[in-house]
A and B are shown apart, each in its own frame.
Chain A
Amino acid sequence: MSRIIGTIDGSDIVEQDDKSVTFTSGATLDGDGANGQFGGDPCYAPEGWGTTLDILRNAGHPGNWYGVVTDNGKKTGTPIIQKTGDPCPGTYVSATSLFLRDAQGNHLPDSSPFKYVDSATVPFIVVPPAIINGVAGIVMGCKAIVTNTINGKSVDAVVADGGPTDHLGEISVACAKALGIGIGAPHAANGGGVDSSTIRYQLFPGVAAEVNGVSYPLQPS
């Protein structure tokens, strides 16, 4: 028997009989986690660095860095800057809620750009706490399928970030491009997206995602 987990922005979030979760909404863009891991643009960098996915104001400002990794793990700390040998030297490290591990399965330090899921190249979705806390299966890292009902395009994705309580429908920049959804300019993730309720999301709590040949860990909340 399907049940409604919650309703956000007028869209019902439904747990289906097979325990998958579905909803239909618009889509805003999330650039978080992009650190140039696979050659794409980073999410955040000091002013004047070059093209970034998002405007630096979305990461915060001195004394209040809520959008990048800092040296003391607090928003009052100093942002970590990628060094020579890192994928995108000179830029900040942007985080997702889903943490990745190294090839041996070991935890990575918070300062590692590879700890996070790259919005520029990996199709991922963002979900509110109502979903994370509303089902039995593990949501972070689980499989998702996102469909643009206007053009019929569909993409396999991973649940990789947490959104606010009152917003539904958010995707990575790579996910938007795969679905034929417009991006913003001059910053791809600071704009673009779809306002109308035309994007269908289905996620499979408890089923680890595999996207483009990469397996993602399920991460309990």
Chain B
Amino acid sequence: MRARIAVSALFLVSGSLATAEVPQPPAPPEVKCEIVYHFREKLADVKAGGKEYSAPATRKELLPQPTSMLQGRKEVQVVKGKARSLPFQFTIRWVLTNSKGISELRIIAVDTGGTPVVGFPQSVEKPFDDPDVSTRTFEVPLTHKLEQDVANKLLRKNQELTHVDLEIALKR
């Protein structure tokens, strides 16, 4: 009889444990990687002495979604992609902290021959620790010829390409 009571009590305890809520690990941050083409437009019908060029504006090209992997005990997310309008391949890698923040961001950019693009690779520690900051940008240097090709492909005749960035955006 005593043994039967003890077994029943054990079932009750284990049953209550099974239904208790197990804390879920935090979801990884939503990160988006884009190539951003910045331009200004020469405005029509501006009065003499007026501001002739528009405020800056952008066109954007989304790179693929990140894939997750474990490196040792660290969770790492990686984006690999090529911009449609640029002859470059980008590899963007960031390390997640235990609380799913981002501890390190590393960018590799190479041309079609595998040679690093000038100014790359680049790394930033704690890229989004400032709560006001939602994007980090890395300028992608273009030759004059490439600038012209991009402008011809993406912009109107009265728009001037100012520069091109790789932008890493964190959804807050």
Interface residue ranges, A against B (CB under 8 Å)? 28, 30, 32, 54-55, 57-60, 64, 66-67, 73, 75, 95-97, 110, 126, 129, 133, 161-167, 170, 177, 181-187, 189-193, 195, 221
Residues in B with CB closer than 8 Å to A95 are 51
Taking residues whose C-beta sits less than 8 angstroms from the other chain, chain B's interface range is: 35 or more
A66 with B47: in contact, given A57-B163, A164-B159, A191-B167 (CB under 8 Å)?
no
- Tell me whether B165 and A190 are in contact (CB under 8 A): yes
Residues in A with CB closer than 8 Å to B85 are none
Residue B123 at the chain A interface, CB threshold 8 Å: no
Query: Complex Cα distance A54/B40, Å?
Result: 13
- Tell me whether B133 and A66 are in contact (CB under 8 A): no
- Tell me whether A165 and B41 are in contact (CB under 8 A): yes
- Tell me whether B133 and A184 are in contact (CB under 8 A): yes
Stretch at the interface among B1-9, B54-62, B73-81, B91-99: B54-62
Residues in A with CB closer than 8 Å to B44 are 129
How many residue pairs, one in A and one in B, have C-beta atoms under 8 Å apart? 120
Residue B125 at the chain A interface, CB threshold 8 Å: no
Q: Kindly name the residue among B42, B58, B135, B172 whose own CB sees the greatest number of chain A CB atoms within 10 A.
A: B135
- Besides A57-B38, A170-B57, 17 more A-B contacts (Cβ < 8 Å) are A28-B57, A32-B55, A57-B163, A58-B40, A64-B160, A66-B160, A67-B53, A73-B49, A97-B50, A126-B54, A161-B55, A163-B41, A163-B57, A182-B134, A182-B170, A191-B36, A193-B134
A58 with B134: in contact, given A66-B160, A96-B51, A162-B43 (CB under 8 Å)?
no
Query: Complex Cα distance A162/B44, Å?
Result: 11
